[in-house]
Protein backbone atom coordinates (compact mmCIF):
# COMPACT_ATOMS: atom_id res chain seq x y z
CA UNK A 1 0.00 0.00 0.00
CA UNK A 2 1.38 3.43 -0.82
CA UNK A 3 1.63 5.98 1.97
CA UNK A 4 -1.11 8.56 2.29
CA UNK A 5 0.01 12.12 1.50
CA UNK A 6 1.91 14.09 4.10
CA UNK A 7 0.31 17.39 3.10
CA UNK A 8 -1.97 18.45 6.02
CA UNK A 9 -4.46 20.13 3.69
CA UNK A 10 -4.79 17.04 1.54
CA UNK A 11 -5.04 14.77 4.56
CA UNK A 12 -7.91 16.88 5.89
CA UNK A 13 -9.54 16.77 2.49
CA UNK A 14 -9.37 12.98 2.33
CA UNK A 15 -10.38 12.38 5.94
CA UNK A 16 -13.55 10.31 6.16
CA UNK A 17 -16.25 9.81 8.67
CA UNK A 18 -15.71 6.43 10.24
CA UNK A 19 -18.59 4.84 8.38
CA UNK A 20 -17.52 6.22 5.01
CA UNK A 21 -13.97 5.05 5.56
CA UNK A 22 -15.12 1.60 6.63
CA UNK A 23 -17.23 1.21 3.50
CA UNK A 24 -14.46 2.31 1.17
CA UNK A 25 -11.93 0.09 2.91
CA UNK A 26 -13.72 -2.91 1.45
CA UNK A 27 -13.14 -1.50 -2.00
CA UNK A 28 -9.49 -0.83 -1.16
CA UNK A 29 -9.00 -4.42 -0.06
CA UNK A 30 -10.32 -5.76 -3.35
CA UNK A 31 -8.10 -3.44 -5.34
CA UNK A 32 -4.96 -3.93 -3.27
CA UNK A 33 -3.51 -6.42 -5.72
CA UNK A 34 -3.76 -4.01 -8.65
CA UNK A 35 -2.94 -0.66 -7.12
CA UNK A 36 0.85 -1.21 -6.78
CA UNK A 37 1.36 -0.24 -10.40
CA UNK A 38 -1.40 2.36 -10.57
CA UNK A 39 -0.62 4.41 -7.44
CA UNK A 40 2.20 6.95 -7.32
CA UNK A 41 5.17 6.22 -5.06
CA UNK A 42 5.07 7.78 -1.58
CA UNK A 43 7.64 10.43 -2.50
CA UNK A 44 5.68 11.75 -5.51
CA UNK A 45 5.16 15.54 -5.09
CA UNK A 46 1.46 15.96 -4.37
CA UNK A 47 1.18 19.26 -6.23
CA UNK A 48 1.50 17.18 -9.41
CA UNK A 49 -2.05 15.95 -8.84
CA UNK A 50 -3.39 19.51 -8.87
CA UNK A 51 -2.50 20.12 -12.51
CA UNK A 52 -3.49 17.89 -15.44
CA UNK A 53 -0.33 18.75 -17.34
CA UNK A 54 1.80 17.67 -14.39
CA UNK A 55 0.00 14.46 -13.52
CA UNK A 56 1.43 11.11 -14.35
CA UNK A 57 -2.05 9.69 -14.99
CA UNK A 58 -2.60 6.65 -17.15
CA UNK A 59 -1.90 7.82 -20.68
CA UNK A 60 -5.13 9.28 -22.17
CA UNK A 61 -6.57 7.39 -25.10
CA UNK A 62 -6.86 8.97 -28.48
CA UNK A 63 -10.22 8.99 -30.23
CA UNK A 64 -8.85 6.47 -32.73
CA UNK A 65 -8.02 3.92 -30.05
CA UNK A 66 -11.13 3.10 -28.08
CA UNK A 67 -14.03 4.54 -26.15
CA UNK A 68 -13.50 6.98 -23.31
CA UNK A 69 -15.14 5.39 -20.27
CA UNK A 70 -15.99 7.55 -17.29
CA UNK A 71 -17.32 6.49 -13.91
CA UNK A 72 -19.82 9.01 -12.58
CA UNK A 73 -20.85 9.35 -8.93
CA UNK A 74 -23.86 11.30 -7.61
CA UNK A 75 -24.85 11.90 -3.96
CA UNK A 76 -26.09 15.49 -3.96
CA UNK A 77 -29.39 14.82 -2.20
CA UNK A 78 -31.23 11.56 -1.55
CA UNK A 79 -30.16 9.28 -4.39
CA UNK A 80 -26.94 7.27 -4.25
CA UNK A 81 -25.97 6.73 -7.88
CA UNK A 82 -23.09 5.50 -10.01
CA UNK A 83 -22.84 4.98 -13.76
CA UNK A 84 -20.35 4.19 -16.49
CA UNK A 85 -20.80 6.14 -19.73
CA UNK A 86 -18.70 5.78 -22.87
CA UNK A 87 -17.94 8.76 -25.09
CA UNK A 88 -20.51 10.88 -23.31
CA UNK A 89 -23.53 9.09 -24.81
CA UNK A 90 -23.33 5.31 -24.50
CA UNK A 91 -24.76 4.31 -21.13
CA UNK A 92 -23.00 1.11 -20.10
CA UNK A 93 -24.50 0.98 -16.64
CA UNK A 94 -26.65 3.07 -14.32
CA UNK A 95 -27.35 2.16 -10.70
CA UNK A 96 -29.49 4.28 -8.37
CA UNK A 97 -30.27 3.49 -4.73
CA UNK A 98 -33.35 5.50 -3.82
CA UNK A 99 -34.02 6.78 -0.30
CA UNK A 100 -37.69 7.66 -0.83
CA UNK A 101 -38.93 5.17 1.75
CA UNK A 102 -36.52 6.52 4.37
CA UNK A 103 -37.77 10.11 4.03
CA UNK A 104 -41.43 9.40 3.32
CA UNK A 105 -42.64 9.67 6.90
CA UNK A 106 -40.92 13.06 7.31
CA UNK A 107 -42.50 14.55 4.17
CA UNK A 108 -39.09 15.64 2.86
CA UNK A 109 -35.38 14.88 2.81
CA UNK A 110 -33.63 14.74 6.19
CA UNK A 111 -29.93 15.56 5.52
CA UNK A 112 -28.48 13.40 8.30
CA UNK A 113 -30.52 10.37 7.24
CA UNK A 114 -29.53 10.97 3.61
CA UNK A 115 -25.84 11.10 4.51
CA UNK A 116 -25.96 7.88 6.50
CA UNK A 117 -27.78 6.09 3.69
CA UNK A 118 -25.19 7.31 1.17
CA UNK A 119 -22.44 5.98 3.41
CA UNK A 120 -24.06 2.55 3.52
CA UNK A 121 -24.81 2.38 -0.21
CA UNK A 122 -21.89 4.11 -1.92
CA UNK A 123 -19.62 1.06 -2.09
CA UNK A 124 -22.19 -1.50 -3.33
CA UNK A 125 -23.63 1.00 -5.83
CA UNK A 126 -20.21 1.73 -7.37
CA UNK A 127 -19.30 -1.96 -7.41
CA UNK A 128 -22.57 -2.87 -9.12
CA UNK A 129 -22.15 -0.12 -11.73
CA UNK A 130 -18.70 -1.43 -12.65
CA UNK A 131 -19.94 -5.02 -12.74
CA UNK A 132 -22.92 -4.20 -14.96
CA UNK A 133 -20.70 -2.25 -17.33
CA UNK A 134 -18.20 -5.08 -17.46
CA UNK A 135 -15.28 -2.75 -16.81
CA UNK A 136 -12.41 -2.62 -14.37
CA UNK A 137 -9.95 0.04 -13.28
CA UNK A 138 -7.83 -0.24 -16.41
CA UNK A 139 -10.88 0.30 -18.64
CA UNK A 140 -11.77 3.61 -17.01
CA UNK A 141 -10.33 6.93 -18.12
CA UNK A 142 -11.58 9.19 -15.32
CA UNK A 143 -13.69 9.38 -12.18
CA UNK A 144 -16.34 12.11 -12.09
CA UNK A 145 -18.42 13.35 -9.18
CA UNK A 146 -21.09 15.98 -8.56
CA UNK A 147 -19.55 18.25 -5.93
CA UNK A 148 -22.01 21.18 -6.08
CA UNK A 149 -24.68 22.33 -5.38
CA UNK A 150 -26.55 20.13 -2.91
CA UNK A 151 -26.61 19.01 0.70
CA UNK A 152 -23.02 19.28 1.87
CA UNK A 153 -23.38 16.37 4.28
CA UNK A 154 -24.58 14.23 1.36
CA UNK A 155 -22.15 15.54 -1.26
CA UNK A 156 -19.15 14.77 0.95
CA UNK A 157 -19.81 11.03 0.70
CA UNK A 158 -19.65 10.99 -3.09
CA UNK A 159 -16.75 13.43 -3.26
CA UNK A 160 -14.74 11.39 -0.75
CA UNK A 161 -15.41 8.18 -2.66
CA UNK A 162 -14.42 9.78 -5.98
CA UNK A 163 -11.22 11.28 -4.59
CA UNK A 164 -10.27 7.96 -3.00
CA UNK A 165 -10.77 6.07 -6.26
CA UNK A 166 -8.96 8.75 -8.27
CA UNK A 167 -5.98 8.48 -5.95
CA UNK A 168 -5.96 4.69 -5.76
CA UNK A 169 -6.57 4.07 -9.45
CA UNK A 170 -4.36 6.94 -10.63
CA UNK A 171 -7.18 8.38 -12.76
CA UNK A 172 -8.07 12.02 -13.40
CA UNK A 173 -10.77 13.48 -11.16
CA UNK A 174 -13.53 15.51 -12.82
CA UNK A 175 -15.73 17.85 -10.77
CA UNK A 176 -19.28 18.32 -12.03
CA UNK A 177 -21.93 20.93 -11.28
CA UNK A 178 -25.12 19.02 -10.46
CA UNK A 179 -27.36 21.56 -12.21
CA UNK A 180 -25.32 21.62 -15.39
CA UNK A 181 -25.42 17.83 -15.40
CA UNK A 182 -29.24 17.92 -15.43
CA UNK A 183 -29.09 19.84 -18.70
CA UNK A 184 -26.65 17.31 -20.12
CA UNK A 185 -29.39 14.69 -19.65
CA UNK A 186 -31.43 16.50 -22.30
CA UNK A 187 -28.49 16.43 -24.71
CA UNK A 188 -27.49 12.84 -23.98
CA UNK A 189 -28.49 11.38 -27.34
CA UNK A 190 -27.77 14.44 -29.47
CA UNK A 191 -24.65 14.72 -31.59
CA UNK A 192 -25.36 18.27 -32.73
CA UNK A 193 -27.60 21.10 -31.58
CA UNK A 194 -28.75 24.41 -32.96
CA UNK A 195 -27.16 26.84 -30.52
CA UNK A 196 -27.59 28.96 -28.57
CA UNK A 197 -30.27 27.15 -26.63
CA UNK A 198 -32.35 28.23 -23.68
CA UNK A 199 -32.15 25.66 -20.91
CA UNK A 200 -34.65 25.18 -18.07
CA UNK A 201 -33.71 23.25 -14.95
CA UNK A 202 -36.75 22.53 -12.83
CA UNK A 203 -36.24 20.36 -9.77
CA UNK A 204 -36.91 20.06 -6.06
CA UNK A 205 -34.12 22.41 -5.05
CA UNK A 206 -33.67 24.64 -8.10
CA UNK A 207 -35.55 26.37 -10.87
CA UNK A 208 -33.17 28.10 -13.27
CA UNK A 209 -32.89 29.36 -16.84
CA UNK A 210 -29.59 29.30 -18.72
CA UNK A 211 -28.27 30.33 -22.09
CA UNK A 212 -26.37 27.30 -23.40
CA UNK A 213 -23.69 27.93 -26.00
CA UNK A 214 -22.15 24.48 -25.51
CA UNK A 215 -22.26 21.77 -22.84
CA UNK A 216 -19.51 23.67 -21.01
CA UNK A 217 -20.66 27.24 -21.71
CA UNK A 218 -23.72 28.12 -19.66
CA UNK A 219 -24.82 31.62 -18.65
CA UNK A 220 -27.39 32.01 -15.89
CA UNK A 221 -30.41 34.03 -17.00
CA UNK A 222 -32.75 33.61 -14.04
CA UNK A 223 -33.26 31.58 -10.89
CA UNK A 224 -35.72 31.12 -8.05
CA UNK A 225 -35.76 33.76 -5.34
CA UNK A 226 -37.55 31.51 -2.83
CA UNK A 227 -39.18 28.09 -3.27
CA UNK A 228 -38.19 26.03 -6.29
CA UNK A 229 -40.97 24.46 -8.36
CA UNK A 230 -40.34 20.95 -7.06
CA UNK A 231 -40.26 22.19 -3.47
CA UNK A 232 -43.62 23.90 -4.02
CA UNK A 233 -45.05 20.63 -5.36
CA UNK A 234 -43.91 18.78 -2.24
CA UNK A 235 -45.21 21.44 0.17
CA UNK A 236 -48.60 21.67 -1.54
CA UNK A 237 -48.82 17.88 -1.47
CA UNK A 238 -48.26 18.07 2.29
CA UNK A 239 -51.05 20.65 2.59
CA UNK A 240 -53.35 18.33 0.64
CA UNK A 241 -52.16 15.39 2.77
CA UNK A 242 -50.82 13.48 -0.21
CA UNK A 243 -47.94 10.97 0.14
CA UNK A 244 -44.30 11.92 -0.40
CA UNK A 245 -42.87 12.63 -2.94
CA UNK A 246 -45.49 15.21 -3.80
CA UNK A 247 -44.81 15.85 -7.49
CA UNK A 248 -45.95 12.51 -8.94
CA UNK A 249 -49.00 12.43 -6.65
CA UNK A 250 -50.14 15.93 -7.60
CA UNK A 251 -49.69 15.08 -11.28
CA UNK A 252 -51.67 11.86 -10.87
CA UNK A 253 -54.50 13.56 -8.97
CA UNK A 254 -54.41 16.61 -11.24
CA UNK A 255 -55.43 14.48 -14.22
CA UNK A 256 -58.83 14.04 -12.54
CA UNK A 257 -59.25 17.72 -11.70
CA UNK A 258 -60.19 20.96 -13.46
CA UNK A 259 -57.13 23.19 -13.93
CA UNK A 260 -59.43 26.23 -14.21
CA UNK A 261 -61.43 25.50 -11.06
CA UNK A 262 -59.37 27.87 -8.89
CA UNK A 263 -57.57 30.96 -10.15
CA UNK A 264 -54.32 30.71 -8.22
CA UNK A 265 -51.79 33.57 -8.68
CA UNK A 266 -48.99 33.47 -11.24
CA UNK A 267 -45.98 35.43 -10.00
CA UNK A 268 -44.07 36.90 -12.95
CA UNK A 269 -41.90 39.28 -10.84
CA UNK A 270 -42.25 42.23 -13.15
CA UNK A 271 -41.90 42.88 -16.84
CA UNK A 272 -38.87 41.22 -18.36
CA UNK A 273 -37.86 39.24 -15.26
CA UNK A 274 -36.54 35.72 -15.79
CA UNK A 275 -36.46 34.87 -12.07
CA UNK A 276 -38.98 32.58 -10.40
CA UNK A 277 -41.06 32.73 -7.22
CA UNK A 278 -43.43 30.01 -6.06
CA UNK A 279 -43.78 30.78 -2.33
CA UNK A 280 -46.79 33.04 -2.94
CA UNK A 281 -48.54 30.32 -4.93
CA UNK A 282 -47.89 27.80 -2.17
CA UNK A 283 -49.30 30.24 0.40
CA UNK A 284 -52.39 30.82 -1.76
CA UNK A 285 -53.11 27.09 -1.68
CA UNK A 286 -52.66 27.09 2.08
CA UNK A 287 -55.11 30.01 2.48
CA UNK A 288 -57.59 28.27 0.20
CA UNK A 289 -57.54 25.23 2.48
CA UNK A 290 -57.42 26.98 5.86
CA UNK A 291 -58.81 30.48 5.39
CA UNK A 292 -57.11 33.82 4.82
CA UNK A 293 -56.44 34.37 8.54
CA UNK A 294 -55.07 30.83 8.99
CA UNK A 295 -57.40 30.57 11.99
CA UNK A 296 -59.99 28.45 10.28
CA UNK A 297 -60.25 24.70 10.48
CA UNK A 298 -58.28 22.68 7.95
CA UNK A 299 -60.84 21.86 5.29
CA UNK A 300 -58.87 19.16 3.48
CA UNK A 301 -60.23 16.37 5.65
CA UNK A 302 -63.79 17.33 4.74
CA UNK A 303 -63.10 17.67 1.01
CA UNK A 304 -64.05 14.96 -1.43
CA UNK A 305 -61.57 13.57 -3.95
CA UNK A 306 -62.83 15.82 -6.76
CA UNK A 307 -62.29 18.99 -4.73
CA UNK A 308 -58.74 17.95 -3.86
CA UNK A 309 -58.13 17.01 -7.49
CA UNK A 310 -59.31 20.48 -8.59
CA UNK A 311 -56.86 22.13 -6.18
CA UNK A 312 -54.02 19.91 -7.42
CA UNK A 313 -54.85 20.59 -11.08
CA UNK A 314 -55.22 24.34 -10.54
CA UNK A 315 -51.95 24.56 -8.61
CA UNK A 316 -50.10 22.53 -11.24
CA UNK A 317 -51.51 24.71 -14.03
CA UNK A 318 -50.26 27.86 -12.27
CA UNK A 319 -46.72 26.46 -11.92
CA UNK A 320 -46.64 25.32 -15.54
CA UNK A 321 -47.94 28.66 -16.83
CA UNK A 322 -45.07 30.48 -15.14
CA UNK A 323 -42.46 27.99 -16.39
CA UNK A 324 -43.75 28.20 -19.97
CA UNK A 325 -43.96 32.00 -20.07
CA UNK A 326 -40.53 32.51 -18.55
CA UNK A 327 -38.92 29.96 -20.87
CA UNK A 328 -40.58 31.55 -23.91
CA UNK A 329 -39.44 34.99 -22.77
CA UNK A 330 -35.87 33.77 -22.37
CA UNK A 331 -35.87 32.03 -25.76
CA UNK A 332 -37.06 35.19 -27.48
CA UNK A 333 -34.51 37.32 -25.67
CA UNK A 334 -31.46 35.28 -26.75
CA UNK A 335 -32.84 34.14 -30.12
CA UNK A 336 -32.76 30.47 -29.17
CA UNK A 337 -33.83 27.84 -31.69
CA UNK A 338 -33.57 25.00 -29.19
CA UNK A 339 -35.12 24.52 -25.74
CA UNK A 340 -33.55 22.14 -23.23
CA UNK A 341 -35.34 20.92 -20.12
CA UNK A 342 -34.10 18.72 -17.28
CA UNK A 343 -34.56 18.08 -13.57
CA UNK A 344 -37.02 16.04 -11.54
CA UNK A 345 -40.08 18.15 -12.38
CA UNK A 346 -39.26 17.74 -16.09
CA UNK A 347 -40.69 14.23 -15.73
CA UNK A 348 -44.14 15.79 -15.30
CA UNK A 349 -46.15 14.77 -18.36
CA UNK A 350 -48.41 17.85 -18.31
CA UNK A 351 -45.38 20.15 -18.27
CA UNK A 352 -43.72 18.25 -21.12
CA UNK A 353 -46.86 18.53 -23.26
CA UNK A 354 -47.27 22.26 -22.53
CA UNK A 355 -43.61 22.98 -23.30
CA UNK A 356 -43.88 21.05 -26.58
CA UNK A 357 -46.94 23.08 -27.61
CA UNK A 358 -45.11 26.32 -26.86
CA UNK A 359 -42.08 25.20 -28.87
CA UNK A 360 -44.23 24.11 -31.84
CA UNK A 361 -46.24 27.35 -31.88
CA UNK A 362 -43.16 29.57 -31.79
CA UNK A 363 -42.33 31.48 -34.97
CA UNK A 364 -40.20 29.93 -36.25
CA UNK A 365 -40.81 26.67 -34.35
CA UNK A 366 -38.23 25.75 -31.76
CA UNK A 367 -36.87 22.29 -31.12
CA UNK A 368 -37.54 20.89 -27.66
CA UNK A 369 -35.16 18.41 -26.04
CA UNK A 370 -36.26 16.98 -22.70
CA UNK A 371 -34.28 14.55 -20.56
CA UNK A 372 -35.60 10.96 -20.74
CA UNK A 373 -37.83 10.35 -17.73
CA UNK A 374 -35.41 7.86 -16.17
CA UNK A 375 -32.72 10.57 -16.20
CA UNK A 376 -34.86 13.48 -14.95
CA UNK A 377 -34.37 12.64 -11.29
CA UNK A 378 -30.87 12.53 -9.80
CA UNK A 379 -28.62 9.99 -11.49
CA UNK A 380 -24.96 9.45 -12.31
CA UNK A 381 -25.39 9.08 -16.06
CA UNK A 382 -25.70 12.84 -16.40
CA UNK A 383 -22.55 13.28 -14.30
CA UNK A 384 -20.46 10.90 -16.40
CA UNK A 385 -21.86 12.28 -19.65
CA UNK A 386 -20.95 15.88 -18.86
CA UNK A 387 -17.58 14.74 -17.53
CA UNK A 388 -16.73 13.43 -20.99
CA UNK A 389 -16.71 16.99 -22.35
CA UNK A 390 -14.59 18.24 -19.46
CA UNK A 391 -12.23 15.28 -19.93
CA UNK A 392 -11.71 16.16 -23.60
CA UNK A 393 -11.07 19.78 -22.60
CA UNK A 394 -8.54 18.70 -19.95
CA UNK A 395 -10.57 20.24 -17.13
CA UNK A 396 -9.56 18.07 -14.18
CA UNK A 397 -9.96 18.71 -10.45
CA UNK A 398 -7.32 18.42 -7.72
CA UNK A 399 -7.53 15.91 -4.90
CA UNK A 400 -8.25 18.86 -2.60
CA UNK A 401 -11.72 19.11 -4.16
CA UNK A 402 -14.41 19.95 -1.62
CA UNK A 403 -18.22 19.75 -1.75
CA UNK A 404 -20.24 22.96 -1.82
CA UNK A 405 -23.89 23.59 -1.03
CA UNK A 406 -24.05 26.37 -3.62
CA UNK A 407 -23.19 26.30 -7.28
Non-local CB neighbours of 390 within 8 Å, separated by 6+ positions:
144, 174, 176, 216, 396
DSSP E strands: which ranges in 110-256? 142-148, 173-177, 197-202, 207-214, 217-223
Confidence band (pLDDT; 50, 70, 90) for 72?
very high
Over residues 125-154, mean pLDDT: 96
Using the predicted structure, report yes or no on whether residue 317 has a pLDDT greater than 80. Answer: yes
Q: What is the mean pLDDT of the chain?
A: 86
Q: Residue 290: what pLDDT? A: 84
How many Å is the maximal CA-CA distance in the chain? 72
Q: Residue 43: what pLDDT? A: 30
Kindly report the number of other CB atoms within 10 A of residue 55's CB atom: 18
Confidence band (pLDDT; 50, 70, 90) for 223?
very high
Using the predicted structure, report yes or no on whether residue 296 has a pLDDT greater than 80. Answer: no
135/32: higher pLDDT = 135
Using the predicted structure, report yes or no on whether residue 103 has a pLDDT greater than 70. Answer: yes
- 3-class SS of residue 5: coil
Percentage of the chain surpassing pLDDT 70? 83
Over residues 246-258, mean pLDDT: 95
Q: Residue 23: what pLDDT? A: 55
Confidence band (pLDDT; 50, 70, 90) for 107?
confident
pTM of the model: 0.82
Cα separation of 81 and 26, whole Å?
18
Q: Residue 191: what pLDDT? A: 74
Using the predicted structure, report yes or no on whether residue 343 has a pLDDT greater than 90. Answer: yes
Confidence band (pLDDT; 50, 70, 90) for 104?
confident
Confidence band (pLDDT; 50, 70, 90) for 268?
very high
Over residues 132-161, mean pLDDT: 96
Confidence band (pLDDT; 50, 70, 90) for 190?
confident
**CB–CB of 96/79 below 8 Å?**
yes
Looking at domain 193-371, its CATH superfamily turns out to be ATPase, nucleotide binding domain (3.30.420.40)
Q: Phi and psi dihedrals of 394, rounded to 5?
A: 75, 25
Non-local CB neighbours of 185 within 8 Å, separated by 6+ positions:
342, 371, 372, 375, 376, 379, 381, 382, 385
Q: Residue 324: what pLDDT? A: 98
Cα separation of 136 and 75, whole Å?
22
CATH class of 8-183+380-392: alpha beta
Over residues 228-237, mean pLDDT: 94
Q: Counting runs of H as helices and runs of E as strands, what totals does the chain give? A: 13, 10
Using the predicted structure, report yes or no on whether residue 230 has a pLDDT greater than 80. Answer: yes
User: How many Cα atoms are found within 13 Å in the side-chain-facing hemisphere of 402?
Assistant: 9
Cα separation of 349 and 127, whole Å?
33
Could you report the per-residue pLDDT of 298-313, keeping only the tens digit for each?
788 889 999 999 999 9
Q: Residue 270: what pLDDT? A: 86
Residue spans of the domains in the chain: they are 8-183+380-392, 193-371
Could you report the per-residue pLDDT of 1-60, keeping only the tens digit for each?
445 455 554 444 444 444 555 555 555 555 454 444 444 333 323 232 233 333 444 444
Over residues 105-129, mean pLDDT: 93
Amino acid sequence: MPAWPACPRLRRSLRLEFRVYAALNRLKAELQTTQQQSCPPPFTPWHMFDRPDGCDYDRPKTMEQKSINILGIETSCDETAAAVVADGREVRSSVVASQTKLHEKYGGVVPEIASRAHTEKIYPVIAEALERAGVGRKDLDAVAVANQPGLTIALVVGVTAAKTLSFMWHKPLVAINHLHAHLQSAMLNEESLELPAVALIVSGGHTCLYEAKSPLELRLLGTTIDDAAGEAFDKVATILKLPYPGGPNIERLGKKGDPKAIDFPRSMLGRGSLDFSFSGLKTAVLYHCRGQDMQGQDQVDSMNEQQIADIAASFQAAVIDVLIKKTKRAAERIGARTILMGGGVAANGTLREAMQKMADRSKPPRRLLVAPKQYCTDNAVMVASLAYHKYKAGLFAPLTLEPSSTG
